[in-house]
Homo-oligomer: A and B are copies of this chain.
């Protein structure tokens, strides 16, 4: 079993930075495509509030949900985030 935390909002600093980087990059891509949060959320099958939390780095989005967004925006995951975007130990 994986370790589960009851208060998932308490992420370590590095994890928060990664999610914020991902969300910020996604926002830039969406805005460049002149799409609203509502449009992307609707097309990917999410609620607007969930999608907003992804863009603000509050959600640790799953692979399937990332790919739903990528599919609609016609982008690759690497267009949103790359390993070199954050320093590794």
- A: which residues have CB within 8 A of B? 1-2, 15, 18-19, 22, 46-47, 49-50, 60-64, 66-67, 70-71, 74-78, 81-83, 86, 88-89
Contact = CB atoms under 8 A, between A and B. Distances in A.
Given A50-B1, A61-B62, A77 B81 contact: yes
Contact of A18 (B18, B19, B63, B76): B63
Most interface-central of A49, A77, A82 (chain B CB within 10 A): A77
Copies in the complex: 2
B22 A63 contact: yes
A76 B80 CA distance: 12
Contacts of A82: 76-77
Given A1-B49, A2-B50, A83-B70, A64 B60 contact: yes
